[in-house]
Structure 1
Amino acid sequence: MTVEAHKETLEFKAEVSQVLDLVISSLYSNKEIFLRELISNASDAAEKLRFESLTDEQLLEDDPSLRVRVLVDTDAGTITVSDNGIGINRQEMIDTIGSIASSGTRQFAEALRAAQGAAEQGDADKGEAAGEELIGQFGVGFYSSFIVADKVTVISRRAGLTSEHGVRWQSDGRGSYTLETVEKPGRGTDVILHLKEDEQEFLEPWRLRTIIGKFSDHIAMPVEMEKEDFETDTDKEGEDQEKEAKAPEFEQVNKGTALWMRNKADISEDEYKAFYKHISHDFDEPLAWAHNRVEGTNEYTALLYLPKRAPWDLWDRDQKHGVKLYVKRVFIMDEADKLMPHWLRFVKGVVDSDDLPLNVSREILQHNRKIDTIRGANVKRVLSLLESMARDEPEKYQTFWDEFGRVLKEGPAEDFQNRERIGGLLRFATTASEGSAQTVSLDTYIERMKDGQKDIYYITADSHAAAAHSPHLEVFKKKGVEVLLLSDRVDEWLVSHLHEYQGKHLQSVTKGKLDLGELADQEDKDKTEQAEKEHEDLLKRLKDSLGEQVSEVRASTRLVDSPACIVVGEHDMSANLARVLKAVGQDAPDMKPTLEVNLDHPLVKRLEAESDQTKFNDLGMILFDQAQLAEGGQLDDPAAFVGRLNKLMMSMFMRGG
């Protein structure tokens, strides 16, 4: 059976050609990484075939020995990276090679332009480093081929399809590519680089062997090159015709042993770093790693890494995250999310089990006691790594926190067992660190608590500025009591599950009737109680004026400088969380807030003295609306608020005239 050759020219998806130019210019001074990326991709393809062949041996055809080969054709000026792995079909070729980070191309282009801008402004090292980092984050390592090649050809056939279902992709990276159906006897993928005139150095076999030794020694898959003949030119001349008739002989040029199975003492830092770049496709070095061999009833090896930078898809809930799973050195699956909880989705690495079956599936992983044990141990290992870093290398931990802190905040809600340990790793801005980038741990907060302070106080808002300038903080600032300033969306989720830490209750300063306990002066308490009695008529009159918009109007113990603030019940949803839910299209309960007023404030005194009920109502609504705005809320009727404010201003001007 033959398939009609089908050739077409297709345009790259939007902005891809522009991104290619940026990739080439960003990595030009580190050109040799193209080989690392292509070998890494080829190794992954071979590993995937090994896994699929466990349930379908026919996929191996008559070629069961998986490998990667690097071939040089001096006459043609080409380098070929070839594998006999899983291969790809025509549609997969369009979906993967015809697009760059399909959902993030625009982000990638903008980020790379920023990196280029840094280089143009004289910070070349920063620009180059940022370029490499971004390319790793967006998973576009294949396109580094165009650094050294002016044309790239990819020929592939997916395992399980017959030879006439091969497909050839070819492009000069300028905006379009051709796709053609071709005959390909062997399965797998050949990536052929047609080198530029000024990149002929890569045709030297010793140069390629050096690069492979530098970047790909740790790869478990054999990387082969043609055996070199070191005979003299005279000897070669007499054997040319005989050699042409012989099939080339290949030899393995990398160590080809699974790095994670080697003794830790025999692995250098550079080897650990190179292996991280291989499994993560990240161009940056890892921040830290942990390598452990567990023996006993459940035997496995784990090599886990903490990245230095967050990947672009960290917040994509649909994106798979997790570590690579091997069973007895056989690759089983990428992104085995059951081995690492979602709140640690930034962790990269390998877990190799001696006890799991080779035909393990995602469904089996979901209900396997051994997997639960490995997962639990992985979490503890990562927590220990972070705790050591936070204790011994605070600057490095700050780097981690800046990138992944918001993800770590998901932990207390998802992992009750480790909630206290996760709490110790959290960092927060506070009223004591206002105006600086400094963050503090809960342990540090507790050490700085005032004598008699029983609770850890916090406030949530939709921005740092809104939190820092909230009227709810006035009495705390007056008494020098530190308050955590929480402004990430995830913070509401965090405090709804992290109710206490080290025996200290976390208390919102915007909920319930404020009770400062021993921090409050008895004189202040007596004064407030007396004021409530003296101004009982004002509070009732204001409640009647506002009607169903509030549940209560009462004298405030929170306020010092502001006239009023909004407070919700102790067990009610915070106003900020209600706004967050509504912003993402979810329902939030309708809550009637309490309005607290500062009876010593001139505006409140002016309100109390107003005998005209219409003016009283207008002033009362302005007070209520201002309190909502100060909390970051939105008014139901902004035009009415503006109208009342204008009326008030006009009356003042008229009296002044």
Structure 2
Amino acid sequence: MSSVKETLGFQAEVKQLLNLMIHSLYSNKEIFLRELISNASDACDKLRFEAMADPALYEDDPELKIRVTYDKAARTITVSDNGIGMSRQEVIENIGTIAKSGTREFFERLTGDQARDAHLIGQFGVGFYSSFIVADKVTLITRRAGLTKEHAVKWESTGEGEYTIETVERPQRGTEVILHLRQGEDELLSNERLRTIIRKYSDHIQLPILMKKEVWDKDRREYVPAGEEETVNRASALWARPKSEITREQYEEFYKHVAHDFEPPLAWVHARIEGKTEYTLLLYLPSRAPFDLWDREHRRGLKLYVRRVFIMDDAERLMPYYLRFVRGIVDSNDLPLNVSREILQQSKDIETIRAGCVKRTLGLLEELAQNEPEKYARFWQEFGRVLKEGIGEDPANRDRIAKLLRFASTYTDSDAQTVSLADYLSRMKEGQEKIYYITADSFAAAKNSPHLEVFRKKGVEVLLLYDRVDEWVVANLPQFEDRPLQSVAKGDLDLGKLEDEAERKEREREEREFKDLVSRIQEALGERVKEVRVGHRLTESPACLVVDQHAIGMNLERLLKLAGQKVTPTRPILEINPRHPLVERLKKEPPGSRFMDWSHLLFEQALLAEGGQPDDPAAFVKRLNQLMLALVGEESRIWIPGKD
């Protein structure tokens, strides 16, 4: 078969990634070997899985293994495997491009600050490209299992924007990656150095990692190959070992392998569950959220093994979507080796394993929250919004999740979400029966809402909910520890025992005194409001908007509209503050167009305070100008002749 050699250009993102990675990760250059061995291990796992349906893929070489060799004279290091290999098209797709959704958004987040961007690179997972940290040229030769020897592919690049690809012959299936080292990297051309790196980063790999033995040559005064190979790593499933035999460093390196992350995990849980369904799990909480955490198209899940045999990546059925940030493995003793994604949908064993994974994950979070609050605060900052989704998605664990939630509140007056519902209960005023909250589209809007005025006056704490998911949370969490959650912007304000007899009598007096004004404003606003009434939640603002207790809140209505959903507009209730000078002035205003304008202005001010928009901004501005000029005694300058 004739060899056709092509020169192709890297995808723009690959060029940017290579340049950034070489500079950002050079201080930890050893990771190139970990990444190449990890890729080789994955390739062998994939062959093992595909060969369950087609044993012929093993050809005449059923023993899967990884080899690491070096050549001092040529100044090369080679990592090879007899795994699944790649076809020509797979090489182009996997190495010439970055086929990850969210790639553009990832690169937009890069800042130019090397230390910060190195963390982002770690999130992205550079894998094969880490070769260029130590090599100025990389050669890859591969043949996919099932294809004949003349369908092998040779890929080569200096990492400077282009690569060549050609068809070659390769009798063995699998892949070898040859690194042509940069000047100054000769210290890597050492059997002992490479073994040390392998034991440090890849000891957990299940497959044997082979290197040639070496003996000391007295005449040449150096170590030389002895001819035979030996296994460098322990080559046993880390999760199958007793916990007492696994070091912290080994747990962390295994995490980096399964998660393709450069940073150590925040915490982990390792357990063997015995009983009707037997399985082992090793679950990790990452230190940072991946860049594509919110991409619903990205497949996520745990690695699934059956009796130490790799079955699939991203087994979504093993963990609910609100725990999609969890990484790790599950190894079942009961599932069949030929299990498929379709079978997983129906399996009762999988339902049991899933429940066990959730239980252990929530237990780990509870342990962090109780015993390591600083770590839990780091977790919450990265994944809190995702965990909140569980309130609606997982009714069986709603109470456990609720205890893990954190919010901002008027108690801290900070946008940091550090207040638990248990914290709130511990600070409730004597006689307080409800947990009060407000939802808004930003922390500033929540903090400065007029609905909080009476609560601040009475020293009653209010939770400030400004994440979009918070509307979902309160819709699915009617109470906590038998205390109902109550929006301060819904229903008629009932402070119960927090209001004394004198305040109740004063409220009744104001309702009688302003009854006529309420009717006049109601008539002026017409269909814009459902009702106008005297309110008692305001101390500084002239008016605010509320909705009925069981109606859709105004913030939720806006969110649904932004999401493209059709929503029947809620007609709000306008509450006026009878003690505010503007309301007192309006009470004295005779009927006419000016009363009409001022009534609409009162409504539109309240609408703006809620984060809404006036239907006619120009009319709002005109009314506002008239009001300001009237207040300084210059109304006549703009008043239209013939009007009241």
- C-alpha distance in structure 1 between counterparts of 2:381 and 2:456, whole Å: 27
Residue in structure 2 matched with residue 416 of structure 1 by the alignment:
395
> For the Cα contact (< 8 Å) 1:101–1:139, is it kept in 2?
no
Q: Does 1:282 align with 2:261?
A: yes
Q: Does 1:599 align with 2:578?
A: yes
> For the Cα contact (< 8 Å) 2:491–2:549, is it kept in 1?
yes
- C-alpha distance in structure 2 between counterparts of 1:387 and 1:557, whole Å: 40
State the SS of the aligned residue for 2:139. Answer: strand
1:40 to 19, 38, 41: 38
Letter in 2 for 1:72: Y
Change (3 A) 1:61 1:463: same
> For the Cα contact (< 8 Å) 1:101–1:138, is it kept in 2?
no
1:205 to 181, 191, 198: 191
- C-alpha distance in structure 2 between counterparts of 1:458 and 1:447, whole Å: 16
Residue in structure 2 matched with residue 119 of structure 1 by the alignment:
none
Q: Does 1:390 align with 2:376?
A: no
Q: Does 1:49 align with 2:47?
A: yes
> For the Cα contact (< 8 Å) 1:457–1:482, is it kept in 2?
yes
2:293 to 314, 339, 342: 314
Q: CA deviation at 1:86?
A: 1.4
TM-score normalised to structure 2 length: 0.95
Change (3 A) 1:234 1:69: closer
Gaps of 5+ in 1: 117-126
1:261 to 240, 259, 272: 240
For residues 561-580 of structure 1, what are the structure 2 equivalents within 5 Å?
561-580=540-559
Residue in structure 1 matched with residue 16 of structure 2 by the alignment:
18
- C-alpha distance in structure 2 between counterparts of 1:588 and 1:184, whole Å: 62
- C-alpha distance in structure 1 between counterparts of 2:189 and 2:389, whole Å: 50
Letter in 2 for 1:614: S
1:168 to 154, 167, 174: 154
Q: CA deviation at 1:403?
A: 0.6
359-368 vs 66-75, which moves further: 66-75
Q: Does 1:548 align with 2:527?
A: yes
State the SS of the aligned residue for 2:395. Answer: coil
For residues 53-452 of structure 1, what are the structure 2 equivalents within 5 Å?
53-100=51-98, 102-116=100-114, 127=115, 130-233=116-219, 249-435=228-414, 437=416, 439-452=418-431
460-469 vs 69-78, which moves further: 69-78
Deviations 1:5-34 (A, max 9, x none): 333222222243232111111111111111
- C-alpha distance in structure 2 between counterparts of 1:482 and 1:235, whole Å: 77
Q: CA deviation at 1:618?
A: 0.8
- C-alpha distance in structure 1 between counterparts of 2:243 and 2:514, whole Å: 74
Change (3 A) 1:363 1:420: same
Change (3 A) 1:132 1:209: farther
Q: CA deviation at 1:189?
A: 1.4
Change (3 A) 1:255 1:166: same
> For the Cα contact (< 8 Å) 1:16–1:105, is it kept in 2?
no
Q: CA deviation at 1:377?
A: 1.0
- C-alpha distance in structure 2 between counterparts of 1:101 and 1:528, whole Å: 64
Q: Does 1:642 align with 2:624?
A: no
Change (3 A) 1:594 1:436: closer
User: Would you say how many aligned residue pairs link Structure 1 and Structure 2?
Assistant: 636
> For the Cα contact (< 8 Å) 2:102–2:295, is it kept in 1?
no
State the SS of the aligned residue for 1:417. Answer: helix
State the SS of the aligned residue for 1:334. Answer: strand
State the SS of the aligned residue for 1:432. Answer: coil
Gaps of 5+ in 2: 638-644
Deviations 1:396-455 (A, max 9, x none): 110111111001101110110110000000111100100473611111110111111111
> For the Cα contact (< 8 Å) 1:463–1:487, is it kept in 2?
yes
> For the Cα contact (< 8 Å) 1:27–1:131, is it kept in 2?
no
Residue in structure 2 matched with residue 472 of structure 1 by the alignment:
451
435-444 vs 622-631, which moves further: 435-444
- C-alpha distance in structure 2 between counterparts of 1:39 and 1:108, whole Å: 26
- C-alpha distance in structure 2 between counterparts of 1:227 and 1:336, whole Å: 39
547-556 vs 93-102, which moves further: 93-102
Q: CA deviation at 1:100?
A: 3.5
Letter in 1 for 2:346: H
Letter in 2 for 1:345: R
> For the Cα contact (< 8 Å) 1:226–1:250, is it kept in 2?
yes
> For the Cα contact (< 8 Å) 1:101–1:140, is it kept in 2?
no
> For the Cα contact (< 8 Å) 2:626–2:635, is it kept in 1?
no
- C-alpha distance in structure 1 between counterparts of 2:220 and 2:351, whole Å: 66
- C-alpha distance in structure 1 between counterparts of 2:143 and 2:498, whole Å: 74
Letter in 1 for 2:23: S
Q: Does 1:622 align with 2:631?
A: no
Q: CA deviation at 1:136?
A: 2.3
Q: CA deviation at 1:145?
A: 0.9
Aligned-pair RMSD on alpha carbons?
2.0
1:31 to 19, 29, 37: 29
Letter in 1 for 2:574: L
How high is the sequence identity, in percent, across the aligned residues?
Answer: 60
